[in-house]
Structure formats: structure tokens, C-alpha cells
Amino acid sequence: MEEKAHSADIAAGWLPVLAQPLRPLTVPGARFAILATVIAWMAYVIEQAVRLERISPSPALYAEAALYFVTVTMLTVSCLAYLISRLGHFERLRQHNRVPRSVIDHAFSEESPGLTVLVPSYREDERVIRYTLLSAALQEYSRIHVVLLIDDPPSPQDHDARALLAAARELPQRLSESLGVPLQNFRTALGEFEARTGSETKIKPMELVRLARHYETACNWFDETSSDIAAQDHVDEFFQANVLGRIGEDLRRTANALKDASKDPKAFVSKDRVQQLYSRLVNIFDAKFSSFERKQFASLSHEPNKAMNLNSYIGLMGGAYVQVPSADGPVLIQTTPANADLVIADSEYLLTLDADSILLPEYCLRLVYFMEREENARVAVAQTPYTSFRGPESELERIASATTDIQHILHQGLERHNAAFWVGANAVIRKTALMELEHFEDDGGIRVPRYISDRTVIEDTESSLSLRRMNWRIYNYPERLSYSATPPDFGSLVIQRQRWANGGLIIFPELIRLARSNDTDTKAPTLIELFLRGNYLASIGWTSLCLCILFFFPFENGLMSSAAILTAAPYFASMATDLRRVGYRRRDIFHLYGLNLLLLPINMVGTIESFAQIIGGHKLAFARTPKVQDRTPSPLLFLAIPLVLMVWSLWTLKNDVLLGDWVHFALTSITLVVLAFACIRFIGIKVLISDIMFNLANFVYVPINATADEGQGTPEPDWASILYVGSSTEEQRATDVAYSHATSDFLESQNTSGGDSTPNRKTAT
């Protein structure tokens, strides 16, 4: 019966918040898969040793055998890491007991900690941002402040870019007005209830009826808001059903329960509980909206990455600022609240949320409640690794979503061994923990604070190790309370996965330093924690390299081993079962394998970029995943390599037949069929040809554009460079001087007027 309910939930377009109950053999089966993998690897080692003992190998054959051994072993290590993580996930599910809602309501009945939701946005569609902001604002949590961190250029020249920016700027105010009317009505209702009941302890049935009517009014608001959405795709349908619909249905059930209680002469509902139910209506609609654009201010970092967008705002929290004009734009100088142009409130918790992510209604309540418990005082980040939206039209998006949902299992299992990583798409962060990461760096002459690391494009992963060194924990809450978008076409997926593949190797030395640390204040990591963290950081690099070696290196006939293939059998069998658990088909494991083959060159390029960053010491700009209706063309390299791999596989098959190497023949045949299917199914023949022609045309055709300053000579430097630096130093950034000049003028005016404001060197310089 539970299995049928689970399947019905998936068919309806969502996964249950709580995972389906485990079957009796699930945990033993997970342990057996680990044991079977180890036994298969040991059988392979023995088999290879016996083969080499029977023949007289040459040094070249020894070298090939060693290469093959390392390749098989490293791939087996990755398989074991997944199997250990999924076992940890199952063990956590058996121990998880959901906290009753009334307990959470009681804990927050007086006052809840302040929570600021930060939503970084760069040229996002208004519809995408609106869903994200609303899902955060409609959390049943009081004192929530939703801030849209707009990172678009403040004065774009392109018409479409200007339209996106204008819509983003207007959105917070429009959402505030939409929620303002019901908020005021329910605040009034709460006040009237408190005035009517006074010191009474027993609630009359009429009070329950009156409260039920207010709940029905709230239901009507959600119904009307949902009906105003013209459903274009599965994301629209998800938002209607799982945010607006879920809250509306819950409120309707509460209204019906209140009516039933009012008719039952034996029913007793305490005054405190009725007051909590009134407060719930207020909390649902009680959200403050605002937006912030760091690129409007010369005194803030303009580095093109999400981490610095977040850092810029976090560094200003809790302060009051006056805007002082300069050559490159306004400069923020700290002042007193009475004199301030801009006041940014502080809060105990931050919630970072990607602009294409959606939270289910109880996300904030449950995670903040968890972090507020005394035993969780050292939890720095609590999150629910996101799940993909259900029901996409694209087969590529469906299978790419499957990889995301499998990653959910992996992340939950890492938590079992204290090896969890912060996933930046959504997370509740304890601000005091973040402040311990504070350090300052020079950004073009401006001293800016950094909290979240921006050395790589996977800023959340690197910050996880920094928090771990300070004995802070990353906690993955064992429920599904957040969802995020998956790229719908191969070109967009390339951008996302290339970003994911870059950075792990750069961060890996931090893990080594953690392992070798002699700091008595740092809790020593266990071997299994180091193993799982190391695999998480570096496995994309080594598995991609090992697969390339298997596909392209012509090993001697005797080296290919059936036992080596068996080392991967428990991994694929377990993943097929996990796919079924999260709503896919077991046979989708072959589609997943094909997609991973398509992503192989992307992962290799990401690995090469990591080595380039290690050598060069430079940073990469954050590559935003496109969210457009039209398809994103794929780079030529990532289209050509799968075709080369298929041609190579055909040549390898011919040699396997000639040599009689039937084990390698079978492996290569499967790879060739799956890869060809993936190209046809996930990219498409027409799209493949179209993108190749598009790339070749762009390579051959170079448009001739007249330079803007052609015939005008050398441009004059701006006034700040001439007056304060000198006209011969054109390469000097005017920002540095303009900022210093504006600060000096402001201090002088404050001293002249007798003001007592002093600039905060932490955030202003």
C-alpha cells in the first residue's frame, strides 16, 4: 500500500517529503553490495597476479598491467564511495523521526530568530525569480526578510537586458503589495481575538468557527493566485501544486478541522493553540521584500561571481550608510542610522537561495528549529539537498534530473560520516559561523570582506572545508524540502556541468591540510570522512581520466578481465534500485550511463581548467546556467569528442575480433550502443548537425566592427585621474582615487558639521 502511494506521488509530479519506508532487506542488501565489490576487486587482483606469473612479461607489459590495475582500482574506489554513502543514507532514514508541527509552533510562539533570505540573480527571467521569492516569502516563519541581490549591469545597453533589469527591480515591491492586504487583515483578526478573549482560558465554539472562516479566506487567496498563473511548463505546474496548492490544501484541512471541533461537545482546543493558529496566518504572509545592487556602488566588489555578490551584502549587514558621490558611482560610508541613506538590518540566520530554486512551505521552520536546539549549536549550515522538478518534456532533462536525485542520496549519506558539503542552491546559515570565516582582500584598491570563498566557482564546497577546520558542522536534513531546475538542453547542461567539474582539485590540498593538521582545537577527521571527502572533490577528475584510458588505450589481450567488470556490477545494480526509489525506471541506468559518456569530455575540460587555475593562480568568472526558452548551442569540442569516441569504438571492435578478446569486445559494444543512443536521444541528429555548422560558421566568419574610438585619438582620462593621480597614469583605476576622495570629503563635512559618525573600515574600505 505504501509502495502504491509512493508511486502515485511521483506520478502526480512530486516526491514525498519523507522517503518511503525501507524494506527489511534494504540495509542488508546495501552492505552486501559493498562486500561484493571488495570481493570482486580481490578476485581481479588474484587473477592478474596468476596471469603474470604464468607468462614471462616484458617491462612494457608490466607497465600496462600496472596502468590497468590503477585504472580498475580507482574506478572501484568511486563505486565503493557511492555504496558507502547510500548505506549511510538508509541508516539515517531508519533513525529519523519527524518533529510534530505543534512542537515547532510552540518553540516559536514567542519570537523566532531573524532570518534573511539572499537570492543572487543575474539576468534572470522575472517568472523564475518570482517563484523563488514567493516560495521563500510564504514560509510559515515570522521575521523573514527576502532580498533579491540583482547582479545585472546597472545601465545595460541591450533592450532585452534593460527589460529584465526593470522587471527584477519592480518585482519585490509588487510582491510586497500582493501579500500586504491579507497580512493586514490577519493581523487585525489576531488583535481582535486577543482583545475578545482577554484572560479567558476556555475557547467558545464560535471562536473556532470564526477562525475557520479566516483560514478559508486564506485558502481563497492561494486559489486565486494559483489560477492567475498560466502554466507553461512543469515548473509552473510544480509551483501551483507544491507551493500554492500545498499551503492552500493544508489551510483548508485546518479550517475543516476547526469546524468539526466546534461541533464536537467533547472537543477542547486551548487558547494558546488558537492563538498559534492565528499567528500562523500572519506568519505565512509576513515577509519583507527588498532588492540590492552591489554594482551601483564603487566601494563594493564587482567581481563576476555569485560568492562576491553574497559577500558584498553580508559585509553591510547591521550597518547604516550614507551614499557619497564619486567619479565611478556612489560610495557607501558608514554613519549613524539618523543620517543614513541606507540601513541594512542584521539577522541571526541567512538563507542563500538560487534564483531557480523553490522551497516547500516548512523549509525554514524545520531547519531553523533544528539549528536552535542546544545540541546543534555547532551546526553552521543546515540544508536539504535539492530535488529536481518532475515531469519535463525533454528526455535529456529527465535523465539529467535523475543524476540530481541520485546526488540527493549521496549527500544524505555523506552526513552519516560527518563528510557533508554545503550545497549553495539552498541552505540556512548561522551568521556567527560565517563571521568566523571573515577575511579581507584588496580588490582594485578597495579593501573588501570575504566570508564565502570565491577562489573557485564551487564556492560552497570550498567554504565547507573552511568551516570544518573550525569544528563547524554541515548538516543535511533528511527530508525533501527544496527543488531546483535542471537544464533542458545539452548546451545549457554543458555550461552547468563544466562549472561543477571545475574546482575540486584546487580545493583538494585543503583536505590534505585538514588531515595533517596538528591544531588541538580542530577535531581530527576519521579515515572514512577523509575517504568520502576526497572522493567527492577529486573523483570527477580521476574517473574521467580512467574511463578515457579504458576507451582509448590498446591494452594487451590478456589484461582485460571479467572480474574487473564485476567490480562495477554492484554499483550499477544499486544505482538502478535507487533510480526506482526516486521515481525513475531501473532501465534508466543505461540512459544514465550514456549521459555520463556524453559528459566525459566536459568533465575532462573542467579537470584541465582546475590544473590551469592551480598553475596560473587566477579565478574563473561564474558561468551562469542559461534559463531561456530557446536552445543554447553546444561548443564544437563537446560535440566532436563523442563522435570520435564512436569511431574509435568501431576500430576497437575490429581489433577485438581479430585478437579474440571477447571480454573487451562486449564492453566496447555496450559502450558504443549506449553512446550512439545518447547522442540520438539527448542531443538529436538535427541539433547535432545544426550546432556543428553553427560552430564552424562562427569560426570562419569574423564580423567587422568599427571601433568606437576610431579616428578619435587617445581618449582623455577622467577628471579624478587627472586631478588626483596625474594625466600620465591612464592605467590607474579612477575608482581607487575617487573612492578615497569621496571618503575624505565626507569625513571633512562630518567634522565640520559636528557629526559623530566614523567610517567603518571593515565594510567601507
Give the containing element (helix H, strand E) for 381: strand 379-383
Q: Catalogue the E-assigned strands of 15-66.
A: none
pLDDT score for 525: 92
Start-to-end CA distance of the chain, whole Å, equals: 63
**pLDDT digit string (tens) for 567-595?**
999 999 999 999 999 999 999 999 999 99
Task: Give the helix/strand (H/E) hosting 396.
Answer: helix 395-416
* Mean pLDDT to the nearest integer, 558-570: 83
Strands 115-121 and 144-150 turn out to be parallel
Name the pLDDT band for 406 (thresholds 50, 70, 90): very high
Domain boundaries, the chain: 181-287, 719-764
> Lowest mean pLDDT: which of 109-118, 319-328, 422-431, 723-732?
723-732
Amino acid at 80: L
Percent of the chain with pLDDT over 90: 50
Residue range 324-350: average pLDDT? 91
pLDDT of 439 strictly over 80: yes
Q: How far apart are CA 234 and CA 32, in angstroms?
A: 38
Residue among 328, 155, 304 at smallest CA distance from 732: 328
Mean pLDDT value of segment 424-451: 89
- 54: its cell numbers: 604464468
Which phi and psi (to 5°) does residue 674 adopt? -65, -40
Residues whose CB is less than 8 angstroms from the CB of residue 669 and which lie 6 or more positions away in sequence, other chains included: 653
Q: Which amino acid is at 32?
A: F
Of 746 and 669, more confident: 669
Give per-residue pLDDT as tens, 699-714.
Answer: 777 665 544 444 444 5
Give the separation between CA 411 and CA 482, rounded to whole angstroms. Answer: 14
Strand pairing partners for 441? 448
Q: Which pLDDT band, with edges at 50, 70 and 90, does 746 fall under?
A: low
Per residue in 719-736, pLDDT (tens digit) is 444 444 444 444 444 444
The rounded radius of gyration (Å) of the Cα atoms in the chain is 29
Mean pLDDT is highest, among 92-106, 126-140, 689-703, for 126-140
Taking the model in full, what pTM does it have? 0.86
Which helix (H) or strand (E) covers residue 320, if one does? strand 319-324
- Kindly report which listed range (35-39, 193-197, 201-205, 490-494) carries the lowest average pLDDT score: 201-205
In angstroms, the CA 329 to CA 718 distance is 13
Q: In this structure, what are the phi and psi dihedrals at residue 388, rounded to the nearest 5 degrees?
A: -85, 155
Mean pLDDT of the chain: 85
Query: In this prediction, what percent of the chain has a pLDDT beyond 70?
Result: 87
Per-residue pLDDT tens over the stretch 48-63: 888 887 777 778 888 8
Least confident of 159-173, 568-582, 683-697: 683-697
Residue 216 clears pLDDT 70, i.e. is over it: yes
Mean pLDDT of 462-481: 93
Exposed, middle or buried, 725 (CB in 10 Å: 0-12/13-18/19+)?
Answer: middle
Q: Are 464 and 371 in contact (CB under 8 A)?
A: no
- Which is nearest to 319 in space by CA: 295, 290, 340, 348? 340
CB pairs under 8 A, 24+ apart, for 654-661? Answer: 655/554, 659/557, 660/557, 661/557, 661/560
pLDDT at 3 over 50: no
